[in-house]
Amino acid sequence: MQFRRTSSPEPEINLIPFIDVLLVVLIFLMLSTTYSKFTEMQINLPTANTDAQKDHPSEVIVGVSSDGHYSVNHNLLPTRDLQGLSAAMLAATLNASNPMIVISADAQASHQSVMLVLEAARRSGLTQLTFAAQSSGSSD
């Protein structure tokens, strides 16, 4: 009797097909991916298509000019501070029931100037606010 061990070959992993598959996947990803570089962000501000203006008897129009001056109901205010603006808004809404504040700001007015009007309205207890917009001129 012959007791001889037969040696079985060591299992080995062939990496060549694995590398081929990875290269095909890499080529596919490289060809299907688009690379775009954004160098600047362009913002186009919207214009509003408005209907004919309706008269509201309890409207108070607060104007903000480009240089930071304020007007309440077309009366130019001598001051630019929060207290003066708040007092003028309260005086304009004294006898009005449920007044609507219309903020009409110049396109070149600073953001801070408009925020000051919002803060003055909040301190005065005026909760109904809207912004005036220029019509875009296109008729739909």
| CATH number (domain holding residue 106) | 3.30.420.270
Q: Which residues pair with 101 in a beta bridge?
A: 60, 129
Axis-axis angle for helices 82-92, 111-124 (nearest 10): 50
Structurally, the chain folds into a number of domains equal to: 1
**Domain membership flag for residue 74:** yes
Mean pLDDT of 93-114: 86
Mean pLDDT of the chain: 80
What are the tens digits of pLDDT across the range 50-71?
A: 666 565 568 888 988 888 889 8
**Domain membership flag for residue 1:** no
Alpha carbon distances (Å) from 102 to 56, 65, 72, 94, 135:
11, 14, 10, 16, 16
**Domain membership flag for residue 49:** no
Q: Are 64 and 106 in contact (CB under 8 A)?
A: yes
Alpha carbon distances (Å) from 96 to 27, 63, 118, 126:
72, 19, 19, 11
Q: Are 47 and 131 in contact (CB under 8 A)?
A: no
Helix boundaries (H) for the chain: 16-32, 82-92, 111-124
**Domain membership flag for residue 113:** yes
Asked if residue 77 has pLDDT above 50, the reply is: yes
User: What percentage of the chain reaches a pLDDT higher than 70?
Assistant: 75
Which structural domain range is residue 78 located in?
Answer: 59-131
User: What percentage of the chain reaches a pLDDT higher than 90?
Assistant: 18
Distance CA 116, CA 70 (A): 10
